[in-house]
Amino acid sequence: MNIIEAIGGRELFTQGDVACAYGALLGGCTFFAGYPITPATEVAEAMSRLLPKIRGVTVQMEDEIASISAVIGASWAGRRAMTATSGPGFSLMMEGIGYACMTETPCVIVNVQRSGPSTGQPTEPAQGDMMQARWGSHGDNELIVLAPNSVQECVDLTRLAFELADRFRNPVFVMTDGEVGHMREKIVLPAAEEIDIRPRPAPSTPPGEFVPFKAVKGKVPEMASFGTGYHTYVTGLTHKESGLPTTDNAEEHTGLIRRICEKITDATDELTRVEMDQDDGATVGIVSYGISSRSAAGAVRLLRAEGMKVSHLRLVTVYPFPERVIRDFAAPLSRVLVPELNLGQICHTVREALDGAAAVEKVSKIGGEIITPDEIVEAVLSSGEPVKV
């Protein structure tokens, strides 16, 4: 059965969570392991319904630590693999995510963010895990983090996440939230004949000559899946290019960790996806991501209807953080507002990137309701210098 037959059509009115499952299939995912948690459970439900139809496997594990571990194992066995969770489960997965970074294991993690800390408000949306996405696992590492704001983007960005995970041999996060996850909108999927899923390519050198953690092109090594005739040693300990542990050599450790970080940061421009809506002459701007970007777009519409000038930059890729794009965007601005469903997270990263070039103000909201356009309008009008009309 092809993927579109398994899904049951190309044009559907469905939820963000289910759309993440569709995007996963389009990205070549054939293995899902997870543990149910509101508001991410519908991802697991959809995967358990869909994967058996395309000779894939969905496993409900005993917890989230087991889930991420199973995903890492499946990836080494040659499968494109995903898990989905929310805040409490994301916290549990952090050890495995660090292991995936260190072992350069491609995998996709969907976090349908809910209100925290701890078990918080299970059914309410939040954007409180954004710093954790970047800094949650110990040691130096880099993550690729995408933030969809619509149901269609849940399809498109989850599909993209698999491509990036393979290309960079790294975990990729799809950071959605309870609002986008449970929201329903129309989606359009590609025609079956436009879907071209190929297995992960084998290394360009034969077994015997292959060095598993030596980067041959750029800073990303080729990957030899288990069972394909290659010998690969996989460990979370600092390792040589052969894969064997080396735990007391500063040069080898520095070389490895710099390489696994730089393979992502060197590609920042290539990985950056933003939506830029600049207004000539504006001195105030909004930097947004995820569901709050839709509130921001509403605020921009209302402000411009009143004849005011305001610019808007939406981050689709949140990490690696697009510092250069943000600096360019803010160059003509004196104030930048950052609306978020938390008490202030990405606003800090924006402030660091701008380094005083513009005043950065947070527009925070927690408790379960998303930010309204009016609340952003009020924040734009209430402080700082008057908005240019």
Partner 1 sequence: MRREIRICGFGGQGIILAGVILGEAATKAGFQAVQTQSYGPESRGGAARSEVVISDGPIDYPRVTKADVVVALSQPAYDRFAGDIVSGGAVIVDESGVTAEGAEVQPFTATAQEVGHKIVTNIVMVGYLGARLDLIDPAILEETVLRNVPPGTEELNRKALKAGQELFAAQVS
- Nearest distance, CB of residue 179 and partner 1, angstroms: 7
Measured between alpha carbons, how far is 131 from 147 in angstroms, rounded to an integer?
13
- Nearest distance, CB of residue 375 and partner 1, angstroms: 11
| Closer residue to partner 1 (CB): 81 or 313 | 313
Measured between alpha carbons, how far is 276 from 387 in angstroms, rounded to an integer?
19
| Closer residue to partner 1 (CB): 65 or 274 | 274
For the CA atoms of 161, 166, 172, 178, the dihedral, rounded to the nearest 10 degrees, stands at 40
For the CA atoms of 33, 79, 166, 151, the dihedral, rounded to the nearest 10 degrees, stands at -50
| Closer residue to partner 1 (CB): 13 or 55 | 13
| Closer residue to partner 1 (CB): 125 or 171 | 125
- Nearest distance, CB of residue 123 and partner 1, angstroms: 6
- Nearest distance, CB of residue 215 and partner 1, angstroms: 43
Query: Which two three-digit tokens encode residue 371?
Result: 């930010």
Backbone angles phi, psi at 168, to 5 degrees: -100, 0
- Nearest distance, CB of residue 68 and partner 1, angstroms: 25
- DSSP labels for 134-165? HHSSSSS---EEE---SHHHHHHHHHHHHHHH
- Nearest distance, CB of residue 310 and partner 1, angstroms: 14
Q: Which residues bind partner 1 (CB under 8 A)?
A: 13, 38, 122-124, 179, 182-186, 291, 294-295, 297-298, 301, 368, 370, 372-374
| Closer residue to partner 1 (CB): 36 or 243 | 36
Count the helices and strands in the chain (H runs, E runs).
14, 17
| Closer residue to partner 1 (CB): 184 or 231 | 184
Closest CA to 290 of 148, 111, 128: 148
